[in-house]
Chains A and B, each alone.
Chain A
Amino acid sequence: MKFTNLILSTITIFGLYSCSSDDTIPNEEEVITTVIYELAPVEGGENVTFTFEDLDLTGSNPPVITNGVLQENTTYTGALMLQNKANGEVEDVNLEIIEEDEDHQLFYIETSENLTINYTDSDENGNPLGIETTLTTGDAEENIDLTIVLRHLPNKLTSTAKEGDITGVGGETEADVTFSINVQ
């Protein structure tokens, strides 16, 4: 009987413990939900904004993509914005990327010669980072794919990485989005 009492009392203690453990939803600190690529024509005109937003991440809702139209033979100043909206407010992830710029690099992969993207910023070691770019269009073309990839801990010292070529740089992908661009 003593044993039974002991068993029951201990279960009660553990039961109480489990009730007191709070079930909270953690803040999703690490994620990027939104990628915005904003292009401003160098010689003036209206900004063009490309947006890729995925609020539920691994959930079943597909990402919402907003594409845009660019003018032919025009140079744009590109600004990339990375945001985390998972916790009900807009968190600027750019700050974290800039703080650890030597551990990050953005790559711009286009499927046509009619788009040219160049880095205009650099990290502490003078290697490209990719938050600030220039984009130059060539002749008119429809449905050009532009893929923007953020890598964490890539090998930034390879000659390919310095030229913005993603091949063989390794690292872990933190964002990988594709936009469809019409140049007219």
Chain B
Amino acid sequence: MYNKYTYLFFFFIFLNTVAQNCKLQITGTVKDAATGLPLDAANLYIEENKKGTITDSNGSFTITNICQGEYHLILSHISCTAKEVFITVTNNKELELILKHSVHELEDVLITGKSSIITNESTETINAQKITDNGSQNLATLIESIPGVSSLKNGNTVAKPIVHGNFGNRLTILNNGIAQSGQQWGNDHSPEIDPLVANKIKVIKGVGALEYLGSNLGSVVLVEPSSIDKEPHLHGKASYFFDSNGLGNGVNFQLQQYAKKIGWKVNATAKKSGDKRARDHFLTNTGNQELNLAIQLEKEFSDRWKTDLFISSFNTELGVLAGSQVGNITDLRNAIREEEPLNTNTNFSFNIDAPKQEVNHHLLKLHAKNRLSDSSFIDYTIATQINNREEFDNRRNRRTEIPALSLLQYSFFGETKYQKSFESGLTLKTGLQINYIDNANDPDTGVLPLIPNYSALEWGGFITSRKKWKNNTLELGFRYDNIIQDVRRISVDLPRRIINENNNFSNLNGSVSIKHRFNEHFTAIYNVGYITRNPAINELYSNGLHQGVSTIEIGNLELDTEKAVKTTLEFSGDVNEVFSFKALAYYQNISDYIYLQPKGLQTTIRGAFPRSEYEQTNADIYGFDLSTKWNITNSLFSTGKFSFIKGINKSDGNIGIINLPSNNFAFSLGYQFPKSITIWGKDFENLELGINSKHVLKQNNISVEQEVDLSIRDTNGNVIEELFAPIPSGYTLFGLNMATNVQIGKNRLRITSKIDNLFNVAYRSYLNRLRYFADDTGINASLGLSLKF
């Protein structure tokens, strides 16, 4: 009776009901990334059909009555960053979701994911949300929230990071795995990186990141853009931020898509800000503007071959405080004695005039990963960078338009890395790198250059091994680098001529570290490393007046390589999952530490200038970083941070080392509403309110005689009135912050707002060179809007 057509008929009926099946369900569990334990009360929400649920005490969830289709599932949990997962539902689906949430995480510090290679090094991370929430901040200011990290500033726009007392030539900054190649030697040169391009910024406060080429004395800052989400639809994020002080406006757009094994991501930032204001006056000519673009492409050729391309362009124009361009020490003394900086305007302005800096930095990186087996792979990377820095001063006869300093640097980098994991728990990694730099002064500046033209060829190799057993991880590593410098310097004496110098340096780097997990609540890491750093070009060949600091800086051709031994000991853990802590003590002994030794005053036709020469000594830098978090209740939490650092120059009677941060501590108290708050019919989720404070003590490790000598002298050089540039007093700043998320249709809006320097305190910071001329910035209210779509 039933013929084949009937069968076919029933088959089609069946197929039809499957196609329209809206009785499917999604089940699954949500686990904590750090502990692997189930997370209860996590929110799940399907964007397309607005269905949602909450996980139970076993971390399990079920969402029923789902039709077949493609969905975006949003996963969130109190005090966690929301996560979006793309799923295709054809049948009942079971998911295992992992959310980064743990009491072990301190505020804005996330335990790094599997991409992190250095397990034992003391690492702290700033996550994507914190980067977006602080969209108007530059890289150095952003990572200042990490204990042990400060920044050396030249006003509000120029800031470079200091990690455990190391900065500039002693701190490597890696942009997407490539050592940032620019003019790091200058204290008034910021790293040319847009933090909004990064998904996370890691600071390794260790004994040497052996895997990377570049000069450092142990600490490394890694700026890492995320890989592109495997998500076939076009997604993005549009952010806007506003600062009341300086009327700063900024926008950032991110767009990405991953279809047919090709992924792309575009990230663009534009910022403009005018003159900032201290409590009592404008900081004339402190505006800045920035325009950045980054493009990422990823392609999977097969299961074995994956390539990615990264292009970024960073372009900025930075005004330098008008009153800070001074000539000789008489001018500096006069400027210091003025209440208000010279050339201060009574009106706000967006104009950026001389003195100013214009900097462009471009990076192109091509990377390929070849998976040889489940346990081994090879990475190939090539990259090139162009860095162009121009600095303008007020000059005579329309020369203000011509940069007084103009440097163009090209660099090229190539790398091969191989990694293999063994079943015994041993991981081996080895690699070879080569880097070529060409750095040239523009001869049309009309000014003798401070640093000479040079090229440098550097190659190096490393081998690291990691072995895990029981609750221990042991790491051993070794690195060797060779640097050849070809320098064309201009003679100091007359007649001026070009002298060719060739240098050949070798650097050695070795480290051992052991991590022991006593139990779920207590971990210790011990690191010890030996690191050498060859003298940098400016330390060898600086010759002339460093305009930014009004000092005649003279290089030293006799300098030897710096040799450092650094030890760190870190304890981290928690008490009953309510109170968590991370404590790190470090000690670094540096032989042949290179520093600028003041050599009194030099009389020139422009008057007297302080003269400093590069010399070597033995130095100790040691300190202690502590961060804590206390979950007072489920909604109320408090954090505390403390950084102590001391540097001793063992020559000249154990004087302090200049330009080290003063001891500081910070507190915060935050409250996150357990339920969403409804205002104007909108649900404000994860609403968080907080108050914070930062206390910076006076820099007491250096004596006042180490500051610029401004004493008034008669023509025979006898001191009539002794005067040194003052060391600023300590200060306390308070702030407020707010953050919340709102669902608007299919999109999620994050609103952040904060007030810095709430009481509009007039203060000066030891690490800000403009302290000689003006107070630091006063109160600032900022607003951030970030829409995910």
Contact = CB atoms under 8 A, between A and B. Distances in A.
Contact of A25 (B328, B338, B490, B607): B490
Given A172-B326, A174-B606, A23 B382 contact: no
Interface string B318-342: 0000010111101100110010001
Contacts of B496: 25
Contacts, number: 156
A124 interface: no
Interface centre among B342, B543, B608, B714 (most CB of A within 10 A): B342
B332 to A, nearest CB: 10
B448 A61 contact: no
Task: Give chain A's interface residue range (CB within 8 Å of chain B).
Answer: 35 or more
Contacts of B605: 32-35, 52-54, 57, 63, 175-177
Interface string A1-32: 00100110011001101100111111111101
B441 A26 contact: yes
A7 B414 contact: yes
Interface string A98-114: 01100100000000000
B230 interface: no
Contacts of A173: 326-328, 330-331, 606-607
A68 interface: no
Nearest to B545: A58
B394 A11 contact: no
Interface centre among B395, B448, B449 (most CB of A within 10 A): B448
A86 B609 CA distance: 20
Interface string A56-75: 11111111000000000000
A58 B543 contact: yes
A23 B443 CA distance: 8
Contacts of B715: 145, 178, 180
Interface centre among B449, B490, B496, B543 (most CB of A within 10 A): B496
Given A11-B434, A18-B455, A170-B343, A28 B448 contact: yes
B736 interface: no
A171 B396 contact: no
Prevailing SS type, chain B contact patch? mixed
Interface string B442-459: 011111110001010000
A123 to B, nearest CB: 14
A30 B396 contact: yes
A172 B335 CA distance: 10
Contacts of A58: 543-545, 552, 602, 604, 609
Nearest to B552: A58
Contacts of B488: 23
B331 A172 contact: yes
Nearest to A60: B492
B493 interface: yes
Nearest to A11: B436
A109 B543 CA distance: 31
B439 to A, nearest CB: 9
A57 B327 CA distance: 13
B289 to A, nearest CB: 24
A153 B331 contact: no
B348 interface: no
Contacts of A80: none
Interface in B472-499: 488, 490, 492-494, 496-498
Contacts of A171: 331, 342
B382 A28 contact: no
Contacts of A14: 410, 412, 436, 438
Nearest to B494: A56
Contacts of B444: 26
A135 interface: no
A32 B449 CA distance: 17
Interface in B329-365: 330-331, 334-335, 338, 342-343
11 contacts: A3-B416, A7-B382, A15-B436, A32-B606, A61-B493, A99-B397, A100-B396, A170-B331, A170-B342, A172-B326, A175-B607
Given A11-B434, A57-B606, 10 more contacts: A21-B453, A25-B448, A26-B444, A29-B399, A145-B714, A149-B330, A152-B396, A170-B335, A170-B342, A173-B330
Interface of A: 3, 6-7, 10-11, 14-15, 17-18, 21-30, 32-35, 52-63, 96-97, 99-100, 103, 145, 149, 152-153, 155, 168, 170-178, 180
